[in-house]
Amino acid sequence: MSPRLAPPRLVPGDLDLLERRARELASGAAGDGEEEAGNDRLVAFRLGASPCAVDAGAVERALPRIPSVLPVPSADGSERAITWVDERPVPVVDLAGAAAGGERAAPLLSGLPAVILGTPHGPVAVAVDGPLELREDRLAGAAPAAGEDEPGLRPRLCGRLADGTSVLDAGWMVAWAGRAARP
């Protein structure tokens, strides 16, 4: 016969604090202290030699290394880069290459880090230069208002961190990934 243990007793220390915290959690207005401190959660990476980051809320998944990237022919004769993530085909676009002036061929993207962004047409793996890091930091300065898109790729910024890291506009990045992945 196994010994029976008495159920543990919970003794609340500050009932008012617990009730206020429960109301905040129920309303969705509660923060875990990060928002109160003004810190943003970011995924940091590099584009060439430039340190960059994007809001982690826009990132569905981070891939430290993209699995094999295959070129898949399209009906118009061009090719799309595709990889498999969780047994699903995911288009791959090369932000680092496009920012440097020329996208790399599909096989050269294998093994690079990527962030997977959700676009209106489904997830897209955006190849960047690594390493990928999760950061919590505060914007030191906001970027000037964005104008019209210029010819060529010029990532839109939403600000900079104190160490000079450029924070890319997550909405711009999702829109660019969606356009770049379309055949």
Residue 155's SS3 state is coil
Cα distance between residue 85 and residue 63, in whole Å: 9
Cα distance between residue 39 and residue 42, in whole Å: 9
In a domain, 74, yes or no: yes
In a domain, 103, yes or no: yes
pLDDT tens by residue, 83-128: 999 999 999 999 998 888 888 999 999 999 999 999 999 999 999 9
Chain length of the chain: 183
Give the pairing type, strands 157-161 and 122-127.
Answer: unpaired
pLDDT tens by residue, 29-43: 555 544 444 568 999
In a domain, 158, yes or no: yes
Cα distance between residue 19 and residue 92, in whole Å: 47
Tell me, yes or no, if the pTM score tops 0.75.
no
In a domain, 11, yes or no: no
In a domain, 13, yes or no: no
Q: Which domain holds residue 108?
A: 40-143+154-181
Cα distance between residue 78 and residue 30, in whole Å: 48
In a domain, 27, yes or no: no
Total domain count for the chain? 1
In a domain, 9, yes or no: no
pLDDT band at 72 (very low <50, low <70, confident <90, very high): very high
In a domain, 79, yes or no: yes
pLDDT tens by residue, 43-55: 999 998 999 999 9
